[in-house]
Amino acid sequence: MKPLQLRIGLLGLGTVGGGVAEFVITRAERVTRLFDCHLELARALVRDRTKPRPVEIPSSVLTTDPQDVLGDPTIDVVVEVMGGEEPALTYMGAALQAGKHLVTANKEVMAKHGRRLLELAAQHNVDVYYEASVGGGLPLIGPFKRDFVANHISSVRAIINGTTNYILTRMSQEGIDFRDALAEAQRLGYAEADPFNDISGLDAAYKLAILSSLAFHTEVTPDQIYHQGIDTLTARDFRYARELGYAIKLLAIAREHPSGIEARVHPTLVPHQQLLSEVNGVYNAVEIEGDLVGQVLLYGRGAGRFPTASAVAGDLIDLARNIRKGVNNRTQARIEAGNRVLSIQELDTRYYFRLTVSDEPGVLAEIATVFGSLAISIAAFIQQESDSERRTAEIVLLTHRAREASVQEAVRRLRVLPRVREIGSLLRIEDGRSDRDA
Q: Which residues bind ligand HSE (CB under 6 A)?
A: 136, 161-163, 190-192, 198, 203, 302-303
Direct distance between the N- and C-terminal alpha carbons of the chain, in angstroms, rounded to an integer: 59
Q: Which does 47 bind (CB under 5 to 8 A by kind): ligand NAP, ligand HSE, none?
A: ligand NAP
Kindly give the pairing relationship between strand 153-159 and strand 226-227: unpaired
Instruction: For residue 169, give the 3-state DSSP assignment.
Output: helix
Instruction: State the nearest-atom distance from the C-beta of 39 to ligand NAP, in Å.
Output: 19
Q: Count Cβ atoms within 10 A of the Cβ of residue 79 and give its class: 0-12 exposed, 13-18 middle, 19 or more buried.
A: buried
The active-site residue, picked from 100, 112, 207, 249, is 207
Helix (H) or strand (E) holding 226: strand 226-227
User: Three-class SS of residue 187?
Assistant: helix
71 is in the binding site of which of ligand HSE, ligand NAP, none (Cβ under 5 to 8 A by kind)?
A: none
Contact positions vs ligand NAP (CB under 6 A): 12-17, 45-48, 51, 81-83, 87, 105-107, 132, 136, 189-190, 192-193, 303-304, 308
Beta carbon of residue 256, minimum distance to ligand HSE (angstroms, whole number): 25
Asked whether the beta carbons of 358 and 392 are under 8 A apart, the reply is: yes
**Residue 161 touches which of ligand NAP, ligand HSE, none (Cβ within 5-8 Å per kind):** ligand HSE
Least CB distance from residue 311 to ligand NAP, whole Å? 8
- Torsion of the alpha carbons at 245, 251, 257 and 259, rounded to the nearest 10: 110
Minimum CB distance to ligand NAP, residue 179 (Å): 20
* Residue closest to ligand NAP when measured from CB atoms: 14
Pick from 172, 193, 171: which is nearest to 181 by CA? Answer: 171
CB half-sphere exposure, 224, CA atoms < 13 A = 22
With CB under 5 to 8 Å by kind, the binding choice for 268 among ligand NAP, ligand HSE, none is none
Q: Is 325 one of the annotated active-site residues of the chain?
A: no
Report the residue number, 186 or 322, with the smaller CB distance to ligand HSE. 186
| Helix 162-174 with 235-244: angle, nearest 10 deg | 80
Q: Which amino acid is at 340?
A: R
In angstroms, what is the minimal distance from the CB of 20 to ligand NAP?
9
**From the list ligand HSE, ligand NAP, none, partner contacted by residue 198 (C-beta under 5 to 8 A by kind):** ligand HSE
Active site residues: 207
